[in-house]
Chain A
Amino acid sequence: DTEVTQTPKHLVMGMTNKKSLKCEQHMGHRAMYWYKQKAKKPPELMFVYSYEKLSINESVPSRFSPECPNSSLLNLHLHALQPEDSALYLCASSHAGTSGDEQFFGPGTRLTVL
């Protein structure tokens, strides 16, 4: 199984809602990532978990809260988002989180904040 799955595929939420994005992989990878991609822009790294510990936080606002319950699962909890947070949110995983590791990406969750 070389797949990273993400749910939901689409999400529409208001600025006062609380929602969560989910990501799962069963490749035995020990590093997992959240990226944000705006239209016509490249993916931008938000968070990295390595061996279930947060290793990189790219100064992301606290309205985004990541969680790694186990080595196969990665969540992104959303609260009080702004319309400018509307984007494609991509999850990825890699073997160990070292340089040159191939990162496997999921299809993304398309988020719209009203």
Chain B
Amino acid sequence: QKEVEQNSGPLSVPEGAIASLNCTYSDRVSQSFFWYRQYSGKSPELIMSIYSNGDKEDGRFTAQLNKASQYVSLLIRDSQPSDSATYLCAGRESRDDKIIFGKGTRLHILP
């Protein structure tokens, strides 16, 4: 199993709906998880960080962490066309503290 895995998509969601992005991780990845948004040709932008089990909300974004099942998810409510981007899930490797990224999920919000 790769350390951080994401479905590459594309995931198409109608405008105004909820977009749900998922990520699973291996035993090598520890307690800290991050979601980044990356527009084409740009660098990743940090959206959310989550360190403990449960939900964390910030505006239209909710990150969810389930350590027992080893998955992290990002929900985007009231999706807007400007949310169309690649979303990168990342986690901290337990052994040497480096941050490992998944390949990203491409999200398309349909007007």
Bound pair: A and B?
Answer: no
Point out residues on B near A: beta carbons under 8 Å.
none
